[in-house]
């Protein structure tokens, strides 16, 4: 199975500042079709995960453009610019290149 | 609009069988894949298996032969059944739709919290 390693475990951010979360894959997530199958989710407290970014850098519908995704074949970053209080929760990266789909262990974002 | 809702027991006895129903609306099970994902309390997400739109299934080998997924398209329902439950199966169980364009799990149910009790 593909292992996704996230860092840091938690991050505390002042509203208005930026935050970055890293996700490293044990295997290249670049498919033969040139698509990088890395996704980002946010799970707000007590809620289901919601899709933020698909295929490494594409913003999901309804997601503010404060969120952005970037990376290479194995190293990925989610950046949140101008963090707001509503951004608190646990961020997960996920891969759907191979089955089983796997998730990172999560990064908890807190507000200072 | 797209909705998924899981229904199932709050409590299951040790070694017994868990049955959860995912009822969907706003899309067809013959067009979209539906997956099951679980999350133990305070922990991360674990993919369990899938019901493909064509009627086939796929399972995480971690669940070996304990897991079964089926559906009733006439009722827009997908079923999860897992036997030989252990305390480590205590978790919130989600069903989620897989988007056709994004290939991501784009809509999720609210989940059902299941506790395995001895």
Shortest Cα–Cα distance, A47 to chain B (Å): 7
| Average pLDDT rounded to a whole number, residues A61-72 | 96
Residues 6+ apart with CB under 8 A from B101: none
Are A3 and A18 within 8 A, CB to CB? Answer: no
Are A6 and A104 within 8 A, CB to CB? Answer: yes
List the pLDDT tens digit at each of the 118 positions of chain B. Answer: 999 999 999 999 999 999 999 999 999 999 999 999 999 999 999 999 999 999 999 999 999 789 999 999 999 999 999 999 999 999 999 999 999 988 999 999 999 999 999 8
User: Is any Cβ of chain B less than 8 angstroms from the Cβ of A48?
Assistant: yes
Per-residue pLDDT of A4-53, as tens digits, reads 999 999 999 999 999 999 999 999 999 999 999 999 999 999 999 999 99
* Closest CA in chain B for residue A47: B110
Cβ-based interface (< 8 Å): residues of B facing A:
35, 44-47, 58, 60-62, 94, 99, 102-106, 108-111
- B60:A96 CB<8 A: no
Q: Residue A101 carries which DSSP code?
A: P
- A49:B105 CB<8 A: yes
Shortest Cα–Cα distance, A81 to chain B (Å): 23
The residues in A 57-96 lying below 8 A from B, measured between CB atoms, are 58, 60, 92, 94, 96
């Amino acid at each position: 199975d593909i292992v996704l390693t996230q860092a840091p475990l938690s991050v505390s951010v002042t509203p208005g500042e930026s935050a970055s979360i890293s996700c490293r894959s044990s295997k290249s997530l670049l498919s033969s079709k040139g698509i990088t199958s890395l996704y980002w989710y946010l799970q707000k407290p007590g809620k289901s995960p919601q899709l933020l970014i698909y295929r490494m850098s594409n913003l999901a519908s309804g997601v503010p453009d404060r969120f952005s995704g970037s990376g290479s074949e194995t190293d990925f970053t989610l950046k949140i610019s101008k963090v707001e209080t509503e951004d608190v929760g646990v961020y997960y990266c996920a891969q759907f290149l191979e089955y089983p789909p796997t998730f990172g262990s999560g990064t908890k974002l807190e507000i200072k | 609009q797209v909705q998924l809702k899981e229904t199932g027991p709050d409590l299951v006895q040790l070694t017994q069988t868990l049955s959860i129903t995912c009822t969907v609306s706003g899309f067809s099970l013959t067009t979209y894949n539906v997956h099951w994902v679980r999350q133990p309390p305070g922990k991360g997400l674990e993919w369990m298996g899938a019901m493909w739109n064509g009627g086939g299934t796929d399972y995480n080998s971690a669940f070996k032969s304990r897991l079964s997924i089926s559906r009733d398209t006439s009722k827009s329902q997908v079923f999860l059944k897992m036997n030989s439950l252990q305390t480590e199966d205590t978790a919130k169980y989600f069903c989620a739709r897989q988007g056709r364009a994004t290939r991501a799990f784009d809509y999720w149910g609210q989940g059902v919290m299941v506790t395995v009790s001895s």
